[in-house]
Amino acid sequence: MPTPKAVQEEVRKRYAEAAVAVGEGASCCDDSGSCTTSSFGSRLYSLQELGTLPDAARLASLGCGNPTAVAELREGEVVLDLGSGGGIDVLLSAQRVGPAGFAYGIDMTDEMLELARANAAKAGARNVEFLEGTIEDVPLPDASVDVVISNCVINLSVDKRRVFTEIARVLTPGGRLGVSDIVAEDRLSPADRAERGSYVGCIAGALSVSEYKDGLRAAGLEDISVAFTHEVGDGMHAAIIRARRVA
């Protein structure tokens, strides 16, 4: 079994390569088998949404859903996107929360941060900021955001307990979580999940429904729901996860 550090480095390398591919004008999914579960996500954005963004933001989409719609963002809110990649969800969030709101993105990959910042400049987005860091150690103060979103990234973390703790920490009391992620049916063991796909392909590291709920609850979140949207493999599903920090 690879070490957590090795897994994190594999993920970083995969997404650095994706950012470079987009910078050269290609889709990040053109030559990689690891996008089979996530390339579906770009189809969940409306043509109107995609039409407001630079091509590079659209091409860099590696998600499995549309968390900006899942989170039901409102004017004036502060939003944090965990694993923001090329910036598609941050830029759409910034539009939804308006000039009175703000959207942060956090990513550990230098190449993706460079791409996201370039996309924000092309889009003329002023109420956004992309931060370097990991989703296990968010570089924002306690109780500083109203909404946390994420698009098929939490499954890639090697320490999901820490991710859930950080989500609860940065959310304001009563703040909410709305993410898209890959989730396993409870009948599948970790070994079963590993047989169905790789960690970097968003399969081997996915939590089960019960594990997801238990982890969020232990971190101090409530009103938790996990709803499957489409199957990506035997017993593996893209899902919408919602929760709220205890007020």
CATH code assigned at 157? 3.40.50.150
Q: In 3D, which of 91, 42, 48 has the Cα closest to residue 62?
A: 42
Q: What is the pLDDT of residue 199?
A: 80
CA angle 119, 132, 69 (to 5 degrees): 55
Q: Total domain count for the chain?
A: 1
Q: What is the mean pLDDT of the chain?
A: 85
Q: Which residues contact 203 (CB under 8 A, 6 or more apart)?
A: 37, 155, 182, 193, 194, 196, 197, 232, 233, 236
pLDDT at 39 over 60: no
Could you tell me the pLDDT band of residue 73, with boundaries at 50, 70 and 90? very high
User: What count of other Cβ atoms lies within 10 Å of the Cβ of residue 173?
Assistant: 10
- The mean pLDDT of 57-71, rounded to a whole number, is 67
pLDDT at 38 over 50: no
pLDDT at 44 over 60: no
Could you tell me the pLDDT band of residue 67, with boundaries at 50, 70 and 90? confident
Q: What is the pLDDT of residue 58?
A: 56
pLDDT at 188 over 90: yes
Cα within 13 Å of Cα(246), Cβ side: 7
Indicate the pTM of the whole model.
0.86
Range of 67's domain? 4-245
